[in-house]
Structures are given as structure tokens and as C-alpha cells.
Structure 1
């Protein structure tokens, strides 16, 4: 074999080896791609991945993704049942007939409340803030015969923070995940057990909280105890100012009597003096005294509601003054609207205190 032929042979061998090496490299890349692709595919079909994605959805304000990994229909349905399981069972002031009627009422309104709560949760995810129903929503105010604001407060949703995700135990297409949470008011830690199921397309969803009622039983008595302490610490302030405000109410009623539907100049002067010089300063003084009282952590909600009631009342009186000074019916209408809102908050405050007085240790369910 001459030199030329030998060089050609060597060159062909080199080309063949390069091709073989390239083929091996391509096969290796394909194998690695298939492995990592399968691993990624498999990872996305685990309970841990679903929990992680649900948490990320909240951070990114992605309501659609959150709903993909949390079955809100089941979560709210089971949660509602837990929340109302012992409804009114501790209220000895109710007869058996009345208690049965209230229980039937909560069963009747369950579809509206669970649906509305799903919307509330999704608004929280989308905006990052809790908000109440607005516009013509049936849960706005007390249209459904229930104070939805108070209902949400008793659910403890708004004052519960996620701490972390713990152990996940899988059993076929079902799993249980430990979710560490904390009550923001009292700082109490708790481990919720989330039931999870694998959907037909392979992804996992949270379906309900197994021990949600246990969480309520652990947290609510702590709140009740603090509310009782705060109510005791402020009862003399409230009683003293209520006496003054009741007297103002009687004077206002006497001053505002009219057969024509309009106030005389003398009536206007009397009403303006009463509201500006006595009613408003008294309300401000009461709030200042209440603010000087230390609020136990679990009573923060009650203190906030009292402050909100005072603020609404002050705004209502300010609009009333503008209305009678300027003969402005729109201002008077706004005053009436604010007054109705304040009355709703007052009812809520009374409800909180009454339920706490009935039971300071039994779970305070709506």
C-alpha cells in the first residue's frame, strides 16, 4: 500500500470515528433530554409541586393558577361544614325550636356563602388584599340575613398566615400535607392537614383541610379570652359615654321635630350647636379614651370595629351638618347612608361581645 492510499485510509477512519463520536454525543444528549424531561414531567405530578405552585400563585397574584391547584369548591364546602358544625350549640339562650331554625337557615344559605367565599379568596389572590363583596352582590351588607364580614372574621382566614409546608404523605392518588400556619393576632402556631387528590390529568389539588375545625377550636377560645379582658377593661368608658350619647339622642329628637319636613332657622341653629359642640367632641373623647386602653392581641378585631363605628359616626354627623347648613339633600342622604353603615358595625360589636359573654372557652362559631 503506497503512502497516498495509506493516508486516505487513515482519513476515512478518522471521519468514521468522528461520526461515531458525534452519534454517541447526540444519543447522550437525547437520553439526558428524555431523562430530564421525564423528571420534570414527573415532578409536576407530585403533591409537593402542587403546594409550591399554589404558594407561588398567591405571590404572583395568579388566581387561575391558584384555582388549578386548589379545589375551591371542595375546600369551601368542607370548611363551611366545619365552621358551622356546632352552630349555636353553646347558646343556652335559644330554645330547641329556634336553634333548629337557625341551623336550617345556615344549610339553606350554604351555596351563596360558599360561592361568595370562593370569590372573596380569589379576589385576595388577585389583588393581594382582602375585600368584601360590593355592588349588587347578595353578600353585601345583610341582604342574605347574615353579616358576611363577621362570618369571615370567625373563619380566621384573614388573620392566618402561611409559615411553611411540612411532611407530605402519599397513598396512591391521595395524599396528606402538613401546612404550618400562624394566627396573626395571638402568634399561635398550628399544623393544618391538607387532604390532596390527583386529578385525571395527573396534577394534584388541595381538596379540603382535615383538621380545620381543630384549628378553630384552638384559636377562637384564645380570641374570646382576650375579648373578654378588653371588654372588661373598657366597659366603664363605654357605659359612661353611652349615657351622654343617649341624652344627646333625646335632645336631637326633640330639636328635629317638624310637621313641614324642613327645619326652621332656630332648629338648625340648635342642631348645629348640639352636633358641633357636644356630640362630635364627645365621640372624639370616647375614642381617645378607648385608644388609651391596651388591647390584648386576640381583641384587636373588636377594637378595630369600635374605631370604625366611631369614624363612620363622625363622618355621618359631618355630612349632616353640611346638609342642614347648605340645604343640601345629597349631604343629608350621605349622612343617612353612613349612619346605616355605622349601625351595622354597632350590631357586629354587640354580637362579638354577646357571644364572648356566652362562652369564653367554647369555640365561637357563627
Structure 2
């Protein structure tokens, strides 16, 4: 892996990009190194991409989906370079697609994107070269469509933001977590473009500190002022009347509107509900898993204990303590004021309103 500076996507309106596809591989912004170091890595194989997803070099549901699509292209490039016959080409790439699908269980965008790539693998073609071209075209399309969707979400969501609003966001649902611009941060970007007096508060987001490390960095990169708070300060701010709305992203939304997002989101929704503060979720339609009826069915990833037992490599708890480290929690639909998508804003009853957006 080497250090490079990536190009700007067509029409890109943020300085921040998580990943881009190039002739020599996928240029990936190392999100583990942020904010102390801005380092781009070149990912050249599907195995390297799978590792990047597991280790959270790339993270955020839409970005993981794009990474899966690009990982499929890298697999196809390897298979093509090995001069495999068309049948063996398909088998090799499908095996890598399966390996990519095992990286992280909660974010549905990964599985959606890989399913889209598998459809292309099933296309009737005459050569592996044709199939490689189709896979590359599809992966780029998935990336561009996510970028477009984030801008549309931003415009829909900005209409919900009061003049001079105080907004809390949790984790990182920005350009770093998507194909560009962001979901929750896309709403904030569009709102800020209309009203520079809005005030943004970012939860630090324990244990991996995505809010502190990533959200504050990317907003400041784009010239948007942001105030960092610890995860237990939101109630105090709401009680003081400083918060007008909450907007977060999502890793999976079920048919009834229940939403899985970074651990701590559920707490924030409960606090917002107690104070009468509207709580919004911003996510593309690819994040909505209509095969699941409720949040009880969502698989929740559990991560290594070292994420909560150490800080800067130093143990912060007693030796021998037990650990519970889920990466996500589920916010019931009844606490969600609206779900902002690229086709509009769904409101309760979500079973009906989300279905209508798919039909629109």
C-alpha cells in the first residue's frame, strides 16, 4: 500500500472522499489514522478490501457497500490477469464476493451492493473481458448514485432545519461514510449552505470516537463550525434549550422503520423524545431492508473488547473484568420523527410511507 492523493469525483462539493477507483486499485482514505494523519492507501486485491472493511479503514454503511462493489472489481481484475476461462472467472469472483459478505454483518448496504454485483456476474457475455467491463461500470454507477442520493437527501433534510438551529449528530454519517457529501452530514451541509448560523454538536461516539475523530475533522475541512461533546452531554444541552433537532445516519432500517445505527443512537433518541426534540434518520433507500419486519431481526455486530478496555494502548479498567461491546443498537420507529431519503421524507406509519417511497 502506498500514499496517494485521490482525484475529485465529478460534481463533488466536499473536500472529503472515502474511496475512489483507479487503474492501479482503490484509493482509500485511512479512517483509523484520522485526524492526526491524512493518509490514502492503495487497495489492490479483494482480500485487502475485506481486511479494510473489518479493521474499519473504511466504514459507514454506504461507503462499505461501495467498498464491496469495488472489492468485486479488484477480484475480477485479478481473475482476468490470471487468464481464467469465463466459467472459472465467474467462480473465482463469486468466491471473493462471498468472502466480502462475511466482513461486517449489520450494514445492509454491503449485501445490497454485492447482490447488485452478483447480478452482473450472471449476465450472458462472451468473454471475461466483457464481464470485467460490466462489473467496473456497475461499481462506478453504485458510487455515483450514492453521491447523487446524498445530495438529494441533503436538500430534503435542509427543509426541516429551523433558522439558527442547534443540531446534534452521532457517530459519522458524512462524506467519509458514503460516496461523498454524507447522509446526516449531507443534511447539515445543505442546511449550512442556506443558513450559516446553525450550530452543530458532535457526540464523541465511544468507543471508537468516530464523532470526535471523523465528524469534527470533515466538517472543519469543509469550513462548517462544530462543537464536540461527550456522549453523556446531550440531555444537558436539550434541557438548556440549545438543541432543536437530532439527525443521524443508519446501517439498516427495517420495513417498520426500526433503525440500527452506531451504539449510543438509541440513548440519544430516548433523550430527544423526553425533551420533545425531533429525531431524524437520514439514509438512502439501499439502507432499508424490507425483508426484515422489525429491528428485532437485525444482526448486531459485537467487536473486540480492546475497543472499550483500552485508550491509546493503555488499559483503563480492572484486570479480569468482563466486556460487552456491541457496535450498534436499534432505535424503535416510535422515537423517529422522520426518515430522510433520496426520494423524500417518510413519516409514521413507516410500513406504509417507506413502501410508498420505493414505489415512487
TM range (shorter): under 0.3
Higher relative strand content? 2
Higher relative helix content? 1
Q: Give TM-score scaled by structure 2 length.
A: 0.27
Q: Give TM-score scaled by structure 1 length.
A: 0.26
Structure number, greater radius of gyration = 1
